[in-house]
């Protein structure tokens, strides 16, 4: 997506000096604190989870925080990335297609983010090249240092100005030592110097290996990789050691010794049952105190706010851990071999489960293996089914067989984006009698194009950033299931990422056959939520949106709550058997929250 700012900057850009430090208007050096999280040894350590947990701990203390993820790749956004390789493409309210870590930040911080919270090398370099054409570099040869690093520093400071955050959390993608991320590390090194002491805290996340033959924790890869960070001019203030089991004192001592970091700044960050446990784990280890001290923020702690936030959060964790009623929800998709492709759905089910005392077990079913013949046997143990978003042909027949099964057998169903399109196709074929009806994405010459390109998509060429993206309002019809699960709301906001939609030419046919389009765009004839009436099915709902992107631990998304409630009933649990609701009972959210900061 196009940045809305023209990056107006002032000061420190002259022909005379070697420094190139563009400052956004209104920036006051030293006012904002920065925490930078680096990954060492390998990727996939959960840097985003760590960084967002640390940000939450500071947020709980009454500080305002703003995260930013710096990606090394040249794609301008994550929209063109294959979820098999990179995990889910997460969509922000302003339409930014970004890394799944932004979802972790939004959920952990209960905060809506924008394009300002996400940068890639593609964005940084295209901006530098544009500025070069505009003559903004005053005749200088444009270099990695200071111009490209200057652009990175500008992004961080722009975020500080736009959000007025007390602390900006910078997560540098990839691993220290990667060529593609080296300039980000250089940029924060320069910037920590410019901003002065006590304004930066550097945190290195490292990994403790346990070779199978030895069965013991070894710190050498961590030691060597931390040296790479030193070689880049960064001396970490804190080292967090990822491992499956708690990291032994001996190993932490070795790391402290080799990295010149005091022992009480080296922490174990081992695996746990929910990401939401990590803020408390960090607090328990004392990482928050070290960061607050390093940033000279200790005086700023609002103890009452911290206690209240901790109580609310730990009530959520208790509900999640102690949920009594097991249910199994099947996720019928194409990327089922890579769980990261469905990260937000997993989270949304966890939130909804915790709010209803349900322990949601997930069963991943590859739709390519499903047929009309085996669908009963493969799905009969499920209490609820989700067909998630997807693209292209593969596995479509299996998804249609699945939807037919759940519709006819009254199994609770939630269709997400492609899952709604599949439900429409199934209804067209099996209820409306439109043989071979399908989407033009699947078969351009279909006799019944019940799902077709959005009018604005027909003119577009190329693949990047051109879907219908971001948050849009959805007008709900009264007395429908969606209105009911949303507490009687008549308008909600959901996030979208699609090119195709229900073909308006077929709406009347569908409605005459009992399908209800219960959520529509207020401005265009775009069907955004569909359902079957209660008398036909206890819970059959699908949406063109991605409601999983707006579910938060303390505000579970109502469609997921509806699915889990129906699944509990389907499993034989009467909703009244679930005992007392927790006093902090999580309140479903019908909106994507307040508008994010923008420039
Ligand atoms: N492929 C469908 C479309 O482009 C659905 C997209 C999705 O599920 N995100 O409209």
Domain annotation covers residue 434:
yes
273 and 350 housed in the same domain: no
112, part of any domain:
yes
Query: Residue 222 has what pLDDT?
Result: 87
Gap from CA of 561 to ligand 1 centroid (Å):
23
Instruction: Verify that 212 and 356 share a domain, yes or no.
Output: no
Asked if 102 and 66 touch (Cβ cutoff 8 Å), the reply is no
| Å from CA of 78 to ligand 1 middle | 15
Do 282 and 356 fall within a single domain? no
| Residue 18, in any domain of the structure | no
**CA dihedral for 518, 521, 526, 529, sign (positive or negative):** negative
Pocket residues for ligand 1 (CB within 6 Å)?
389-391, 417-418, 441, 497-500
Low-confidence ranges of the chain (pLDDT < 50): 5-7, 10-11, 580-587, 592-599
- Identify the pLDDT of residue 16: 67
Tokens of 85: 């390789």
Model pTM score: 0.92
For residue 163, being part of any structural domain is answered with yes
Pairing of strands 118-120, 23-24: unpaired
Q: Is 3 among the domain residues?
A: no
Closest CA to 494 of 454, 529, 442: 529
CATH of the domain at 466: 3.40.50.880
296 and 422 part of one domain: no
Give nearest CA residue, ligand 1 atom 9.
389
Residue 91 lies in a domain: yes
Q: Which of 251, 282, 315 marks a domain boundary? A: 315
Structure tokens at 86: 């990179």
Nearest-CA residue for atom 5 of ligand 1: 418
pLDDT of residue 45: 84
pLDDT reported for residue 590: 53
> Does 271 share its domain with 335?
no
Q: Any residues with CB less than 8 A from the CB of 553 and at least 6 apart, and which?
A: 107, 110, 276, 313, 316, 350, 351, 354, 586
Ligand 1 mutation pick, 82, 342, 391, max ligand atoms within 8 A of CB: 391
Model confidence pLDDT, tens digit, residues 193-215 = 999 889 999 999 999 998 889 98
In a domain, 28, yes or no: no
Last residue of some domain: 282, 315, 348?
315
Mind telling me the catalytic residues? Answer: 417, 546, 548
| 287 and 351 share one domain | no
pLDDT value at position 597? 45
Instruction: Determine the distance separating the centroid of ligand 1 and the alpha carbon of 419, expressed in angstroms.
Output: 9
pLDDT of amino acid 379: 96
Same domain assignment for residues 466 and 491: yes
Residue 57 belongs to a domain: yes
Q: Do 285 and 361 reside in the same domain of the chain?
A: no
Task: Examine residue 233 and say whether the peptide bond preceding it is cis (omega within 30 degrees of 0).
Answer: no
Q: What is the pLDDT of residues 265-290, one digit of tens each?
A: 999 988 888 889 999 999 999 999 99
E strand map for 16-146 = 23-24, 33-39, 65-71, 90-91, 97-98, 118-120
Three-state SS for 117?
helix
- pLDDT of 151 reads 96
Number of domains observed in the structure of the chain: 2
Q: Are 258 and 350 contained in the same domain?
A: no
In a shared domain, residues 384 and 254: no
Pairing state between β 358-366 and 90-91: unpaired
Domain boundary among 266, 293, 315: 315
Instruction: Determine the pLDDT at residue 13.
Output: 56
List Cα–Cα distances, 36 to 121, 188, 498, in angstroms.
17, 8, 34
Whose alpha carbon is nearest atom 1 of ligand 1? 391
Please give the residue range of the domain that contains residue 500.
324-586
pLDDT on residue 578 = 57
Tell me: do 201 and 133 sit in the same domain.
yes
519 C-alpha vs ligand 1 centroid, how far in Å? 18
Note whether 274 and 351 are same-domain residues: no
Which CATH number fits the domain that encloses residue 227? 3.40.50.300
CA distance readout (Å), 360 to 202, 283, 351: 37, 28, 10
């Amino acid at each position: 997506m196009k940045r809305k700012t023209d990056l107006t900057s002032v000061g420190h850009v002259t022909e005379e000096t070697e420094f190139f430090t563009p400052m956004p208007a209104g920036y006051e050096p030293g006012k904002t604190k920065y925490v930078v999280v680096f990954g060492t040894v390998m990727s996939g350590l959960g840097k985003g989870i760590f960084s967002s947990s640390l940000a939450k701990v500071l947020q709980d203390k009454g500080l305002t925080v703003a995260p930013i993820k710096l990606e090394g790749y040249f794609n301008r956004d994550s929209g063109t990335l294959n979820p098999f390789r990179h995990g889910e493409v997460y969509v922000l309210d302003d339409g930014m297609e970004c890394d799944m870590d932004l979802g972790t930040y939004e959920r952990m911080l209960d905060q809506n983010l924008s394009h300002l919270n996400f940068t890639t090398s593609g964005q940084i370099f295209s901006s530098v090249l544009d500025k070069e054409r505009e003559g903004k570099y005053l005749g200088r040869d444009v270099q990695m240092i200071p111009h490209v690093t200057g652009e990175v520093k500008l992004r961080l400071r722009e975020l500080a100005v736009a959000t007025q955050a007390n602390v900006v959390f910078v997560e540098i993608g990839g691993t220290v030592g990667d060529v593609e991320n080296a300039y980000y590390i250089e940029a924060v090194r320069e910037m920590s110097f410019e901003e002065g002491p006590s304004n930066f805290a550097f945190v290195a996340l490292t990994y403790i290996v346990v070779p199978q033959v030895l069965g013991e924790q070894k710190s050498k890869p961590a030691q060597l990789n931390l040296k790479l960070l030193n070689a880049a001019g960064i001396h970490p203030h804190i080292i967090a050691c990822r491992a499956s089991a708690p990291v032994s004192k001996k190993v932490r001592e070795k790391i402290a010794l080799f990295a010149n970091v005091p022992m009480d700044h080296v922490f174990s960050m081992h695996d746990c049952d929910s990401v939401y446990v990590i803020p408390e784990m960090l607090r328990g280890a004392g990482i928050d105190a070290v960061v607050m001290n390093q940033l000279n923020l200790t005086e700023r702690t609002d103890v009452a706010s911290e206690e209240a936030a901790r109580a609310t959060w730990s009530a959520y964790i208790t509900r999640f851990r102690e949920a009594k009623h097991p249910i199994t929800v099947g996720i019928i998709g194409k990327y089922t071999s890579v769980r990261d492709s469905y990260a937000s759905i997993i989270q949304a089910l966890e939130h909804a489960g915790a709010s209803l005392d349900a322990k949601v077990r997930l069963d991943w079913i590859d739709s390519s293996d499903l047929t009309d013949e085996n669908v009963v046997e493969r799905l009969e143990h499920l209490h609820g089914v989700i067909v998630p978003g997807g693209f292209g042909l593969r596995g479509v027949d299996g998804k249609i067989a699945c939807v037919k099964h759940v519709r006819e057998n009254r199994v609770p169903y939630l269709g997400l984006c492609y899952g709604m399109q599949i439900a429409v196709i199934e209804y067209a074929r099996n209820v409306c009698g439109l043989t071979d009806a399908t989407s033009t994405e699947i078969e351009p010459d279909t006799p019944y194009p019940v799902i077709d390109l959005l009018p604005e998509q027909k003119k577009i060429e190329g693949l990047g950033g051109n879907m219908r993206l971001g948050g849009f309002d959805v007008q709900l019809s009264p007395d429908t299931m969606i209105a009911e699960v949303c507490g009687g709301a008549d308008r909600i906001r959901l996030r979208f990422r699609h090119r195709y939609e229900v073909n308006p030419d077929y709406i009347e046919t569908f409605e005459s056959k009992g399908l209800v389009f219960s959520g529509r765009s207020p401005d265009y004839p775009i069907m955004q939520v569909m359902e079957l009436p209660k008398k036909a099915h206890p819970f059959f709902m699908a949406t063109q949106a991605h409601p999983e992107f707006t579910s938060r631990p303390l505000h579970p998304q109502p469609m997921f709550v509806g699915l889990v409630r129906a699944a509990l009933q389907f499993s034989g649990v009467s909703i009244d058997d679930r005992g007392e609701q927790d006093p902090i009972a999580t309140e479903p959210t019908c909106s994507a929250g307040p508008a994010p900061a923008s420039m």
